[in-house]
Amino acid sequence: MLVRELRQRPDSWREYRQSVAPKWTVPLHALEWVFNWVAYWLSRWAFLEVLEYLGALSVLFGVLFYVSEAGERRQQRHYQAWQVINTAQGKGGSGGRIEALQELNADRVPLIGVDVSGAFLQGLKLARASLARADFHVIDARDSVLEDCDLTYADLHMANFRHGRLDRSNLEEANLEGAYLIGASLVGARLKGADLKGANLTHCDLNGLVWEGIQSVESANIYHVRNAPVGFVTWARTHGAVATAGDDE
């Protein structure tokens, strides 16, 4: 809130000079006296008060415009993020895709059908992402966090999710053929209709895994899986799974 103070009329120079001491400071006091009069006249000038109010209003309008354009700025960020992802399709490396994917997911933008095949996405964090029918084949996403995600019908064959977290994610009908899941966490994940042929599940945490209806575990490595649900290991072995120590054991 603007508060303007109406200044009192300054003394005349004759009255003001009587209070000046020592005499050598008279030029400096004369300058001060002139400024006092200038300030006095300006304080009575309504035009300056109007300018102050206009300045305050311009700040207010600036804030309002900034808020009103928030949606447009968000759309622009999303467009740029999609450009990064689409431009890098089929290329190795990250190419800024980790940040782009995480930004889109943070704004709850569905990533259905996104294609990041072959990308290096180590440490990717996409909790609660909508990734149905996404193409993640041959990606290197070790140490990634894809908890509570919708990965139904996603293509993850030959993907590297070593030490990743896929807890409670829906992997129904997903293609996990040859996926590298050593030390990954699949706690509470749903695998009905999923293809795990040749997948490496060594040391995976399978606590609460919904495994009934898995399409295939032929040649899948279930060596030292942890917290496997009752009946899973026996079923897997009778359907072609193996338990073989790897070179890093």
Q: What is the mean pLDDT of residues 32-46?
A: 66
CATH label of the domain that carries residue 168: 2.160.20
Shared domain check, 194 and 105: yes
Shared domain check, 139 and 230: yes
Non-local (6+) Cβ contacts of 188 within 8 A are 167, 168, 207, 208, 209, 210
Residue at 5 is within a domain: no
User: Nearest-CA neighbor of 174 among 129, 130, 116, 132?
Assistant: 132
Q: What is the pLDDT of residue 66?
A: 56
Q: What is the pLDDT of residue 69?
A: 58
Q: What is the pLDDT of residue 95?
A: 86
Q: What is the pLDDT of residue 32?
A: 72
Structure confidence at residue 135 as a pLDDT band (50, 70, 90): very high
**Cβ atoms within 10 A of the Cβ of 169, count?**
27
Residue at 143 is within a domain: yes
Residue 227: phi and psi, rounded to 5, are: 55, 35
Q: What is the mean pLDDT of residues 32-45?
A: 66
Shared domain check, 214 and 119: yes
Residue at 74 is within a domain: no
Residue identified by tokens 């945490």 is 205
Shared domain check, 229 and 126: yes
213 pLDDT above the threshold of 60: yes
pTM listed for this prediction = 0.71
List own/partner pairs for 176-180 with CB under 8 A and 24 or more apart: 177/216
Distance of alpha carbon 154 from alpha carbon 171, whole angstroms: 7
Q: Which two tokens stand for residue 9?
A: 């009329």
Could you list the residue range(s) of the whole structural domain that residue 23 is in? 13-68
The tens digit of pLDDT for each residue in 45-55 reads 655 566 666 66
Residue at 86 is within a domain: no
Higher pLDDT, 218 or 55: 218
**For the chain, how many structural domains are there in total?**
2
